[in-house]
Each structure stands twice: as structure tokens, then as C-alpha cells.
């Protein structure tokens, strides 16, 4: 999430980066099983998605926010689903 302009997402990005560094270190030292690594990866992915969804949903202009974060236009009809 480099270059994110939203304060909330910057905080999420930093928190996630710390978690990734910790997981990487533990994994390199053999402290995590394959199942633990996969579980942690899924949780991180879920948290990133939740942060993006919250930012888009709370934005004054969800379509523009979505496009800035995702690099592509918001899918047709998606704005109605997140309101």
C-alpha cells in the first residue's frame, strides 16, 4: 500500500508490515508450521481487504477512492452494495 493517502490505511499498512516482518522472521527460523503460515497469510489478506472496504465505504466518493486504491474503476453496481 505504498503511497496510500488515507491516514487510516497508512496505519493499517504499517501494522500489516510489522506483522509480515514478524511472520517472515518466525518462518525463516522454522517456528511456524505450514498450516500456521497459511492461516496467518489468510488473516493478513482478510485484514487488508477489510481496511480497504472500510475506507471505500466511509468515503465521500467511494468510486474515486476505490479507483485510487485498486488502480481500476469500481465495478458497476458495487457502490449500491457497499452503502
What pLDDT digit, counting tens, does each position of 20-49 carry?
888 889 889 999 898 988 888 888 888 888
Give yes or no for residue 7 having a pLDDT over 70.
no
In this prediction, residue 10 carries a pLDDT of 63
Does residue 71 contact residue 29 with C-beta atoms inside 8 Å?
no
Does residue 56 contact residue 66 with C-beta atoms inside 8 Å?
yes
Q: Which helix (H) or strand (E) holds 16?
A: helix 7-28
Distances (CA, A) of 79 to 24, 35, 36, 66: 36, 36, 35, 10
Q: Could you state, in order of their start, the residue ranges of all structural domains in the chain?
A: 7-71
Give yes or no for residue 80 having a pLDDT over 60.
yes
In this prediction, residue 35 carries a pLDDT of 92
Amino acid at each position: 500500500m505504498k503511497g496510500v493517502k488515507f491516514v487510516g490505511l497508512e496505519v493499517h499498512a504499517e501494522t500489516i508490515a510489522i506483522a509480515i516482518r514478524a511472520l517472515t522472521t518466525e518462518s525463516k527460523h522454522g517456528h511456524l508450521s505450514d498450516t500456521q503460515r497459511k492461516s496467518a497469510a489468510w488473516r493478513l489478506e482478510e485484514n487488508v481487504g477489510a481496511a480497504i472496504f472500510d475506507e471505500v465505504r466511509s468515503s465521500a466518493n467511494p468510486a474515486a477512492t476505490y479507483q485510487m486504491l485498486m488502480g481500476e474503476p469500481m465495478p458497476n453496481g458495487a457502490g449500491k452494495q457497499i452503502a
